[in-house]
Chain A
Amino acid sequence: MDHIYKHRKKLIYFGILPALLLYLAFVIIPILISARYSLVEWNGFSAPKFVGLNNYADLFKNSIFWRSLKNNLIVVFASVLGQVPIGFLLALLVNQKIKGQHFFRTIIFMPVVISAVIISLVWSMVFNYNFGLLNNLLKFVGLGSFIQNWLSNPDIAMFSVAAVIIWQFVGLYFIIFLAALQTVPNDVLEAAEIDGAQGWKRTLYITLPLVKDTILAAIVLCISGSLKTFALIYVMTNGGPSHATEVMAIHMYDNSFNAMKFGYGSAVSIFIVIFGIVLVTIVRQLFARFED
């Protein structure tokens, strides 16, 4: 027996190899190259000048960077606390035997497959101060005092943008949860019902623990997705007004490709990687404790 297992292990490694090589070439090695660039001062043309950890020192001294980190955290929280629960609730609803299940499934998933640029343009129009749908709707129902300058007011622009991000990706988590819910065996649910666990109780004590792993995976996906959010905000507000919606990826892009500070830009991207790993580790630890 032992021998067969060993043999299989080799086979498994062999099977992983092509994917691993691709992953190395297109993810790991570029990250390492980035890490090297983060230690130099380089405008893309001249010879790179080694400056040690200066770029990181600049980074931590830059108030705009801290602002972009804060904005990024808003996106992370909005996504984890918005997308995941809403997606889960919708999945629970559609998982009931209701009429038009297919229709709802398609409608809810739709935003995920639309390009970020189109979504941004559509929502820019919805948010438009003068003739946008949102302000007109508020006026129409007599809530004229709630009319806001959704994307131009630095105090609320970030939340307007975050709402769109939630809207776009709810469908993704909805589909993931729906698939997970459909794997929950019916006999378990029936048994629970016989034991007196009905309605919310059944969801809380039977369904939820059974799809717990999927939830963890969804949260991890959600965090990493939120940390690299870029296109939607870039098109909708270009990071403005006055850095109010600038997230780390936009901060990195502006500095590398517009100001041509490739060293500094690389430092930002390395920070994003480390920050992501830390955040995901914390979530996994929390879940592990939750399990005990």
Chain B
Amino acid sequence: MNNIKNNFIIMMIFALIVVCSGAVLAEDTVELKMWHAWTGQDAFAKEVLLPKIEEFQKNNPNIKLKIQVIPNDNYRTKLRTQAAGGQIPDIMQTYPGSEVQPLVEAGMLMPLDDIINYWTDDLIAKETLKAYTFNNKVYAIPAKVNYTHFAFYNKDMLQEAGYDKWPATYQEFKKMADKLKENDIVPISLGNKAKWVLQSVYFSTIADRVAGADFLDKVLAGEKKFTDPEFIKALNIIKELADNDYFNKDANSLNDMEMRQAFYQKRAAIFFGGAWDIGGVIENAKEQNMNVGIATFPSIVGAKSPQALSGVTGSAFSIRAGLSEAQQAAAFKFLKFFYSEETYTDLLRTGSFVPAQVPLPDDISPQFQSVINLVNEHQIAPVYDAVLPLDLIQIINNGLQSLTAGQMTAEELAQQMQDNL
């Protein structure tokens, strides 16, 4: 009986201590709400970014991060809608260019002037932060460079069609695709239900090359028009790929995951994807004993920037304007820790491209080394949906789908884009 009583008293005291210490902690603790879109399926998030966040929390028990993870497709919509209601978290992942611009213009984000010297110009070149710079102020620090265009091809399938090399020119590419079709193989696997794939992956690089890497800037400045022949030529390449039946027939009702599946299941010889696909392709190729090559779109006659490769910086965090002093200090501390030289080196190891100037680690995989060599042959050029205003993104995404479904001509789409500029 006595024993139980004693136990009870000990428990009460213990509970009291816990409650008190909690209260003491609460006084010094800074709480920061954080949103990001890394669900942890990709190597760069699983192995680098998410562990970094955990490590930060372990090292800083007095800074409490309340994290909400929202999958990529919904993240942008959610952030925009919440921002329209004036309710954004303290630290949030933001997307480059036209996506983050309205938040900046509404004064919702804090310029990083006070700490920007930590990165520029030794670690990151100021020019690299262009997509997050407005009025000479930087509003976010990116972790990665996402090249949105690579061609992944099944070497064995190409060989069967008589090609032991990736075709150098678009003319040759078409001949090869026709040959693949004769062999009853779908040349290109495409899943464009979500509508961004044709625009981000295909069209951005094709248009940057054909019409020139500076074309988009010139159009936005009023010096060029979407109805100019070079832009229509780029649109017609997409139309040609569809008209020649190089894509699988159900391209407009599959998502990008199903598109990759078809490639892995050897139902198609080629698929175009972004840098985010590289890790998965290398891994899957190993598992299934597939012989996969990585290239970019073959060269097009008359291209103005033949070496352009569409890419944009991403995985960036911004800070909300109007934080308390303690919160701001905590947020700065987090950014400095999160975007450190060590992070960028670790990211390189997982096969990601980084915006920072850090030396390549020695233990990098040979496959990734060859992709880096490939990228080094190219020049980074704008991704259309990172630069165009939001309503034009809708128009071009829908328009490219209409183009492939034979519901619209290149001239009509170009005119519609110009009208809505």
Q: Which residues of A contact B (CB under 8 A)?
A: 43-46, 124, 127-130, 149-152, 154, 157, 236-238, 240-244, 254-255, 257-262
Within 8 A of A (CB), among B227-264: 248-253, 262
Question: What is the predominant secondary structure among interface residues of chain A facing chain B?
Answer: loop
A45 contacts across to B, CB distance below 8 A = 83-84, 102-103, 105-106, 108
Give bound CA distance, A157 to B401, whole Å: 14
- Are A260 and B253 closer than 8 Å at their CB atoms? no
Give bound CA distance, A258 to B249, whole Å: 27
| Smallest beta-carbon distance B92→chain A, Å | 15
Give bound CA distance, A157 to B402, whole Å: 14
B267 contacts across to A, CB distance below 8 A = 130
Interface size class of B (residues with CB under 8 A): 20 to 34
Quick check: is B398 within 8 A (CB to CB) of the other chain? yes
Give bound CA distance, A212 to B411, whole Å: 54
A236 contacts across to B, CB distance below 8 A = 253
Quick check: is B18 within 8 A (CB to CB) of the other chain? no
Q: Contacts A237-B193, A240-B195, A260-B390 known; A154 to B250 CB distance under 8 Å?
A: no
B390 contacts across to A, CB distance below 8 A = 43, 258-260
- Are A242 and B253 closer than 8 Å at their CB atoms? no
Task: Give the residue of A127, A149, A242, A255 whose beta carbon is less than 8 angstroms from that of B407.
Answer: A242
- Are B102 and A124 closer than 8 Å at their CB atoms? no
Give bound CA distance, A43 to B389, whole Å: 11
| Smallest beta-carbon distance A149→chain B, Å | 5
Give bound CA distance, A146 to B193, whole Å: 24
Give bound CA distance, A260 to B388, whole Å: 13
B192 contacts across to A, CB distance below 8 A = 240
Within 8 A of A (CB), among B272-297: none
B106 contacts across to A, CB distance below 8 A = 45-46
Give bound CA distance, A43 to B390, whole Å: 10
Give bound CA distance, A152 to B252, whole Å: 5
- Are B195 and A154 closer than 8 Å at their CB atoms? no
27 A-B pairs, CB-CB below 8 angstroms?
A44-B102, A45-B103, A124-B253, A127-B253, A129-B248, A129-B249, A149-B249, A151-B250, A152-B250, A152-B251, A154-B405, A237-B252, A238-B194, A238-B195, A240-B192, A240-B193, A240-B195, A241-B401, A241-B402, A241-B404, A244-B405, A254-B394, A255-B394, A257-B81, A259-B390, A260-B390, A261-B391
Task: Give the residue of B103, B253, B391, B393 whose beta carbon is less than 8 angstroms from that of A241.
Answer: B253
- Are B80 and A44 closer than 8 Å at their CB atoms? yes
Knowing that A130-B250, A257-B77 are A-B contacts, what are 6 other residue pairs whose CB atoms are under 8 Å apart, sorted by A's residue number? A44-B80, A236-B253, A240-B401, A241-B401, A257-B80, A260-B80
| Smallest beta-carbon distance A33→chain B, Å | 13
Q: Which residues of B contact A (CB under 8 A)?
A: 77, 80-81, 83-84, 102-103, 105-106, 108, 192-195, 248-253, 262, 267, 390-391, 393-394, 398, 401-402, 404-405, 407-408
Task: Give the residue of B84, B193, B251, B398 whose beta carbon is less than 8 angstroms from that of A262.
Answer: B84
- Are A43 and B253 closer than 8 Å at their CB atoms? no
B248 contacts across to A, CB distance below 8 A = 129-130
Give bound CA distance, A44 to B78, whole Å: 13
| Smallest beta-carbon distance B13→chain A, Å | 48
- Are A240 and B398 closer than 8 Å at their CB atoms? yes
Q: Contacts A237-B253, A242-B398 known; A44 to B84 CB distance under 8 Å?
A: yes
- Are A243 and B398 closer than 8 Å at their CB atoms? yes
B408 contacts across to A, CB distance below 8 A = 242
| Smallest beta-carbon distance A41→chain B, Å | 12
Q: Which of B248, B267, B398 has the most CB of A within 10 A?
A: B398
Nearest residue (CB) in B for A259 is: B391
Nearest residue (CB) in A for B394 is: A259
A262 contacts across to B, CB distance below 8 A = 84
Nearest residue (CB) in A for B108 is: A45
Give bound CA distance, A240 to B405, whole Å: 10
Nearest residue (CB) in B for A44 is: B84
A237 contacts across to B, CB distance below 8 A = 193, 252-253
B249 contacts across to A, CB distance below 8 A = 129, 149, 152
